[in-house]
Chain A
Amino acid sequence: MDVRKDFPILKRGIYFDNSATSHKPKQVLAAVFNYYNNHNANIHRGIHRLSEESSERYEDSKKTLSKFIGAKDWKRIVYVKNATEGLNLASHLLNLSKKDKVVITSMEHHSNILPWRVNSQVSVVDISSEGVIDIEDFKSKIKGAKVVSMPHASNVLGTINEVELLTKMAHEEGAKVVIDAAQSAPHLKVDVNKIGADFLAISGHKMLAPGGTGLLYVSKEFSESTPFMLGGGTVFDVTNQKIEWADMPERFEGGTPNIGGAIGFARAAEYLMEIGMDNVRKHEVSLLKNFFKLNEEKLVEIYGPHSLKLRTGLVSFNLPGVHSHDVADFLNARNIFIRSGKHCAHPLHERLCIPSSARASFYIYNTLSEVENLFEVLNEIKEVFS
């Protein structure tokens, strides 16, 4: 994939920490730079030319992102600072009480556990030893649930969940569905209409966009809910007697938003659409294939599905006898950057009965030879620690 020239930072080393955050291409940075150099002003409130230009660009960015996620109406898109904020907002809009049952899975990131744990009764669907949702357990747990919230793809196992089917099953039981798409949107085609969920959260910074960007897709049913962040921009009118909330999406975006970030977010989505999400996926599968091939002699223990069709371009693993932090530290000394620890998924590590794991997560700019380099150093670590 001929994109490496767009990422000058790649000269710093082999970057395999893309599930945490991705690098940003020159085109995205240029779009943000151009916005601040030539158009900067606050949106929606000014009569002057710059404010109009900013407002147009801000709304256009939502049109681009609605195309990226297959949403028919750009007004269903609410900007948030990351998927975490999106999931918190979804939890707020669902107006839960301690009596309400919310179903999540064993493979959640903390961001899809905590917003539910604090204000409802959480029931957890188990996973198989290969890290796939136990469908029988899912069927049984969703009975009586008000909400089902699950990841499209796991940030540790890489598992791609059958969210279309699972959403349909949850809806049939009368539950609302929230999808954490933080780990899928950067890597696969995400189509909110096909999935059919009520809410879907994405982090922009994991898909080439600047930090502090993300979105929550909100279905029409919730467009008149009371906002979470109250303030400027969220109302048509306020008097001492009444509040008249603005329409979606403004009512859910209190205060001046991250306008430059939104411009960059949209440019990142365009960049990915120019490559084509099918090509992004193909490239990552080729890297995964190489990883699994290089591990034929089981140098490392891999977690998650072994079928590449069922996983995104990340591999969590442990090198037997060596702590994941030591693996990451040693790799760092060779300019290879991976993640280690529990990846904000403590319950999942408990479920897998492991104290921690190392994680190599790939993206469009990684190469087959970088994966080979990783294995060369992993072999070296094995030698040194034996």
Chain B
Amino acid sequence: MNLNKLLLIYKKAKSEMEERTHNKKIEGKNISCGDEVTLFLKIEEGILKDISFESSGCAVSISSAFLLAKQLKGKSIEEVKQLSNEEYLKLIDMEEISTSRRKCVLTPFITLRNNLD
């Protein structure tokens, strides 16, 4: 993903972040740079029926939360738990992100994956 595309997604993500109806809320942080993300999940019969989010942090982290909500909505909890970091990066078209920004991209995803029962 190039910078221009990332910026477009970032601006869209900032304008669209909101807390929608949910039955599970999870929070994650990237301590080293202060990124924070809250994911609001509507889970029905093991399926992520809806994902909304609120986030403060860098453009990469906020864009990742936005793309996560789009790409993982409708997937089963089991499917998400099986997803590797690399598969996630590919899914949101950020597999070429620099090593130093991987943590920014992965924070929303790892927050989600680690908190699914």
Contact = CB atoms under 8 A, between A and B. Distances in A.
Q: Do A and B bind each other?
A: yes
Interface stretch (A21-29, A232-240, A318-326): A318-326
A355 interface: yes
Given A325-B101, A325-B104, A385-B7, A342 B57 contact: no
A370 interface: no
B38 to A, nearest CB: 15
A330 B6 CA distance: 12
B59 to A, nearest CB: 5
Contacts of A84: none
A341 B33 contact: yes
B60 interface: yes
Interface in A333-386: 333, 340-342, 346, 349, 354-356, 384-385
Given A325-B101, A325-B104, A342 B59 contact: no
A342 B33 contact: yes
Nearest to B62: A323
Interface string B44-62: 0000000000001111110
Contacts of A322: 59
Contact of B60 (A325, A346, A349, A385): A325
Contacts of B60: 325-326, 329
A323 B59 contact: yes
**By DSSP majority rule, is chain B's interface helix, strand, loop, or mixed?**
mixed
A113 B71 CA distance: 43
A155 to B, nearest CB: 15
Contact of B101 (A324, A329, A333, A356): A329
Nearest to A341: B33
B1 interface: no
A355 B35 CA distance: 8
A324 B33 contact: yes
Given A329-B101, A385-B7, A356 B34 contact: yes
A326 B33 contact: no
Nearest to B32: A341
A334 B57 CA distance: 22
A323 B33 contact: yes
B61 to A, nearest CB: 8
Contact of A342 (B3, B34, B56): B34
Interface in B1-18: 3, 7
B34 A384 contact: no
A330 B101 CA distance: 12
A91 B103 CA distance: 33
B57 to A, nearest CB: 6
A318 B38 CA distance: 24
A319 to B, nearest CB: 12
A384 B34 CA distance: 22
Which of B7, B32, B34, B60 counts the most chain A CB atoms within 10 A? Answer: B34
Contacts of A349: 34
Given A323-B57, A326-B59, 6 more contacts: A323-B33, A323-B35, A325-B33, A326-B58, A346-B31, A349-B34
Interface of B: 3, 7, 31-35, 56-61, 98, 101, 104
Interface of A: 322-326, 329-330, 333, 340-342, 346, 349, 354-356, 384-385
17 contacts: A323-B33, A323-B57, A323-B58, A323-B61, A325-B33, A326-B58, A326-B60, A329-B98, A329-B101, A330-B3, A340-B33, A342-B34, A349-B34, A355-B56, A355-B57, A385-B7, A385-B59
